[in-house]
Amino acid sequence: MAKYDDIIDPTRTIDQAWWMQAAQAAVRHHCGWHIAPSVAETLTVDAFGGRVLALPSRHVTALASVTVLGTDVTADVSWSEAGTLVLTSGLWPDLPGAVKVTLTHGWDADEVPDVAAIILAVARRARTSPGAIASQSVNGASVAFATSGGAPLGVPLMQAEMDALAPYRLGARP
């Protein structure tokens, strides 16, 4: 991963891998979770009481452990692929960051070619675009791009891409 100082260095040439990471981050930010590739990781999540806890995931494939304030409750948890945990004994606490979940989630890239294609398209567009249009004149044929120090502002998703990502987006959770 590139360091922040490397990215803002005007002499640095940003490579294709960096733009792919930026596009993946834009999709992840829009959808609320990483989608692909499938990864094993530990998430710290807020609990709001009750028996149901929604994870920031839409595709859980394995659940390794669940702890509440340091106590292992894995044996007392039922889970769904959609990212819902149900505590079969007791209630989740009503505390931010009280639950740690070690899981595997996300799809492999070949399982979600539509998402992979969007990431590739966004990376290509961002890498070759001078930036978002800030102003435009028709008769004078001039255009001004919104930039920061000559660099494009972010890696924006187009509306059609956001629409295509709708099935992967985290929505209202239990």
Q: What is the pLDDT of residues 68-125, one digit of tens each?
A: 999 999 999 999 999 999 999 999 999 999 999 999 999 988 899 999 999 999 988 8
Instruction: Please report, for the chain, the start and end positions of each structural domain, with discontinuous segments joined by +.
Output: 1-36+107-166, 38-106
Q: Are 57 and 45 in contact (CB under 8 A)?
A: no
Q: What is the pLDDT of residues 142-162, one digit of tens each?
A: 655 555 445 455 678 889 999
Which residue, among 173, 166, 171, has the nearest Cα to 85 in the 3D structure? 173
Signed CA dihedral, 157, 161, 163, 168: sign only: negative
pLDDT at 81: 96
Which residue, among 62, 60, 160, 82, has the nearest Cα to 114 in the 3D structure? 160
Mean pLDDT, the chain, rounded, equals: 84
